[in-house]
Amino acid sequence: MANRTVKDAKNVHGTNPQYLIEKIIRSRIYDSKYWKEQCFALTAELLVDKAMELRFVGGVFGGNIKPTPFLCLTLKMLQIQPEKDIVVEFIKNEEFKYVRALGAFYLRLTGSSLDCYKYLEPLYNDNRKLRKQNRMGAYELTHMDEFIDELLREERVCDIILPRIQKRHVLEENNELEPKVSALEDDLDEEMPSEDEAVEDLPSPPPSSAKEKKAEMTKAKAGGKRSERSISRERQPVDRYRGYDAGNYHDRENERDKERGRERDRDRERERDRDRDRDRDRDRYREGERRDRRE
């Protein structure tokens, strides 16, 4: 069968290499058009040419779970199980960034903890851009160092559950891995000045003279005058109302109260007239009913 693993393949993490991808996704890959047309009878040499044609990374997309070419080639590598030297050459390839991403993803699935840290951590210095296809089929922008960081830290990348690896500090305590040295430490040491240089670079205080003291005194006096002017301007609106005639104000208030009282009286008279009209209508209606009963 075309979908079977090669006979001389070794178990990876105690299982068939193809079983590292979930059965549902694996069956979707087998049914995809790219797998049937492009991945049939591929060898390790021909797979390099297909990897060079990649234009984005990703897992599955769409409502019917379609696999990306990146995921199809990953399953093909798990099926044919290329040698470790070929995978390392994929990772060291600096010309084609998606070939490097494919090799890093395959090594994360099949490699040991030491190999993952040994071959993937140097790729943190690669800041090239990558196109990534999300579950909706849209493309997102990411970088190679971000993709490598996801491989070493996340549990699921490109919709594939990654095998667990040991923490880095555990390997360092067992002397199996050297302590991590950041590439930025040398730059920080060069930019940070020493304590003696920092003391020398401090500016000396300028000498004070009599002329400068006089200038400061004049500025302080000018500031005091300006503050007095601002205070006097704030008091001006209060002074404007001092000449206002209080008697006229009270007369107007009295007139307004009288007008309000008149309006209230008018409203009361209107209500009284309405009540009278209602009583008349009721009396007429009752008289009419009495007449009808007599008849």
Counted domains in the chain = 1
The answer to the question of residue 268 being in a domain is no
127: pLDDT strictly greater than 90: yes
The answer to the question of residue 204 being in a domain is no
CA dist., res. 223 & res. 7, Å (int): 94
The band of 171, judged by pLDDT with boundaries at 50, 70 and 90, is confident
The answer to the question of residue 26 being in a domain is yes
Question: What element of type H or E holds 71?
Answer: helix 69-80
Instruction: Output the CA–CA distances (angstroms, integers) from residue 272 to 179, 215, 260, 281, in the order listed.
Output: 100, 84, 19, 14
The answer to the question of residue 229 being in a domain is no
Q: What is the mean pLDDT of residues 184-194?
A: 63
Q: What is the mean pLDDT of residues 57-72?
A: 92
222: pLDDT strictly greater than 50: yes
Q: Which of 21-30, 225-234, 252-261 has the lowest mean pLDDT?
A: 225-234
Residues 6+ apart with CB under 8 A from 243: none
The band of 243, judged by pLDDT with boundaries at 50, 70 and 90, is very low
The answer to the question of residue 137 being in a domain is yes
The answer to the question of residue 59 being in a domain is yes
Q: What is the mean pLDDT of residues 13-30?
A: 91
78: pLDDT strictly greater than 90: yes
Q: What is the mean pLDDT of residues 27-48?
A: 90
Q: What type of residue is 134?
A: N
The band of 199, judged by pLDDT with boundaries at 50, 70 and 90, is low
Instruction: Count the helices and strands in the chain (H runs, E runs).
Output: 13, 7
247: pLDDT strictly greater than 60: no
Q: Which of 29-33, 106-110, 167-171, 211-215 has the lowest mean pLDDT?
A: 211-215
The parent domain of residue 97 ranges over: 17-183
Residue 67 phi/psi, 5° resolution?
-85, 150
Which pLDDT score, from 0 to 100, does residue 57 have? 95
Q: Are 56 and 71 in contact (CB under 8 A)?
A: no
Query: In this structure, what token pair is assigned to residue 227?
Result: 């503050």
The answer to the question of residue 276 being in a domain is no
Query: In this structure, what token pair is assigned to residue 92?
Result: 């060291």
CA atoms within 13 A on the CB side of 286: 6
The answer to the question of residue 227 being in a domain is no
Which pLDDT score, from 0 to 100, does residue 215 have? 67
Query: In this structure, what token pair is assigned to residue 15?
Result: 């299982």
pTM over 0.85: no
The band of 239, judged by pLDDT with boundaries at 50, 70 and 90, is very low
- pLDDT, greater one: 248 or 15: 15
Cβ count near 160 (within 10 Å): 19
The band of 132, judged by pLDDT with boundaries at 50, 70 and 90, is very high
Q: Are 117 and 177 in contact (CB under 8 A)?
A: yes
The band of 163, judged by pLDDT with boundaries at 50, 70 and 90, is very high
Residue 112 phi/psi, 5° resolution?
-80, 175
Which pLDDT score, from 0 to 100, does residue 240 have? 47
Residues linked to residue 240 through DSSP beta bridges, in sequence order: none
Q: Comparing C-alpha atoms, which of 114, 112, 144, 99 is closest to residue 14?
A: 112
Q: What is the mean pLDDT of residues 207-233?
A: 57
- pLDDT, greater one: 110 or 210: 110
Q: What are the tens digits of pLDDT across the range 278-295?
A: 888 888 878 877 777 776
